[in-house]
Amino acid sequence: MATELFTLKGKTAVLTGAARGLGLTFATALASVNCNLAVLDILSEPSPSLLALRDYHGIKLEYYRTDIASRPEVTAAVEKIEVDFGRIDININAAGVVMDEPFLTTTDQNIERTLAVNFTGSFLVAQACANSMVTRYKSVHGSETAAQPTTGTIIFIASIATYIASSVQQISCYTASKAAIKGLVKPMAMELAPYGIRVNSLSPGYMMTDMMRGLQEQQPQLVDQFEKETLFGRIGMPEELKGTILYLCCDRASGWYTGQDLLVDGGASTWKHPANLVSS
């Protein structure tokens, strides 16, 4: 039963930001169910554990060094992926940046880069992948656009920050960029449903990744505070999102799920945690 629901054999996923962090974890999850992987990231070299997935699972995996904020680079990468893989079935947009700056003194540089990567970059990659999926759909189904089985899925990575502000972070610019991504989900789901494409976002809670380690170096108390804010008293591990991403990607498991944001946060947004109570 589970193997029927969760298989991606013969499918191709385009992942951004999978050279490390949550994107790498998503790549690992997809590889475990035999999905072929095309990875876009700005780093010159991905983690060796990304490249190791190729032989370990016997999948096709290619790495395309790309700045997703650049339309020409995204267009070139997705055209190359179509040639290299022949099809695009899944797009996961995990590339992201965050800079902690008070709202009152947020710099132009932060506004421009954060929106360029988190919002515009995800938009550009999703647009290129959606066009590829629609072209393939039309080649199979002609102009028929009703009641066809699901043929593609697009997933944006948003954030718990769009649900609840943490007192130890000043990330209004980042939060707005993630809210903008969530704003794409419903209109895209509506526009792309006739081509059998589902569109959702995943909002992780506080997860221990390189991004989090970087923040922790700037603010040593950060992880301590986040641990207090979840119901389990600890920060999340990237592996704890593997099941969620497989659910979202596998049509047989989530074929009726589209136009939604899925929040997975260890309960951090469900309570008024003790750290917020004023001591007398």
Active site residues: 159, 174, 178
Using CB under 6 A as the binding rule, whether residue 5 contacts ligand NAD is answered as: no
Tell me the per-residue interface mask from 204 to 233 with ligand NAD, x by CB under 6 A, - otherwise.
x-xx-xxxx---------------------
Q: Which stretch binds ligand NAD (CB under 6 A): 14-22, 56-64, 126-134, 247-255?
A: 14-22
Nearest to 24 by CA among 41, 6, 11: 41
Residue 86: CB atoms within 10 Å = 11
Size of the site for ligand NAD (CB under 6 A): 32
Q: How far is the CB of 7 from ligand NAD (least distance, A)?
A: 25
Cα 149 from chain centroid (whole Å)? 23
Q: How far is the CB of 23 from ligand NAD (least distance, A)?
A: 6
Give whichever of 7 and 269 is closer to ligand NAD, judged by the CB atom: 269
State whether residue 163 is helix, strand or coil: coil
Using CB under 6 A as the binding rule, whether residue 121 contacts ligand NAD is answered as: yes
Give whichever of 21 and 196 is closer to ligand NAD, judged by the CB atom: 21
Residues 6+ apart with CB under 8 A from 52: none
- Edge-to-edge strands of the sheet including 36-41? 61-65, 36-41, 12-16, 90-93, 152-157, 197-204, 261-264
Q: Which stretch binds ligand NAD (CB under 6 A): 31-39, 52-60, 93-101, 256-264?
A: 93-101
Q: Which of residues 133-172 bind ligand NAD (CB under 6 A)?
A: 157, 159-160
Using CB under 6 A as the binding rule, whether residue 265 contacts ligand NAD is answered as: no
Q: Which of 69, 189, 197, 199 binds ligand NAD (CB under 6 A)?
A: 69
Q: How far is the CB of 248 from ligand NAD (least distance, A)?
A: 14
Q: Which of 15, 42, 133, 188 binds ligand NAD (CB under 6 A)?
A: 42
Cα separation, 215 vs 107, whole angstroms: 18
Give whichever of 27 and 134 is closer to ligand NAD, judged by the CB atom: 27
Using CB under 6 A as the binding rule, whether residue 94 contacts ligand NAD is answered as: yes
What are the E-state strand segments in the chain? 12-16, 36-41, 61-65, 90-93, 152-157, 197-204, 261-264
Q: How far is the CB of 130 from ligand NAD (least distance, A)?
A: 18
Distant-in-sequence contacts of 227-231, Cβ < 8 A, 24+ apart = 228/273, 228/274, 228/275, 229/166, 229/268, 229/273, 229/275, 230/205, 230/206, 230/265, 230/266, 230/267, 230/268, 231/266, 231/267, 231/268, 231/270, 231/271
Q: Which stretch binds ligand NAD (CB under 6 A): 6-14, 29-37, 91-99, 165-173?
A: 91-99
Cα separation, 90 vs 256, whole angstroms: 16
Give whichever of 176 and 193 is closer to ligand NAD, judged by the CB atom: 176
Point out which residues bind ligand NAD (CB under 6 A): 16-17, 19-23, 40-43, 66-69, 94-98, 117, 121, 157, 159-160, 204, 206-207, 209-212
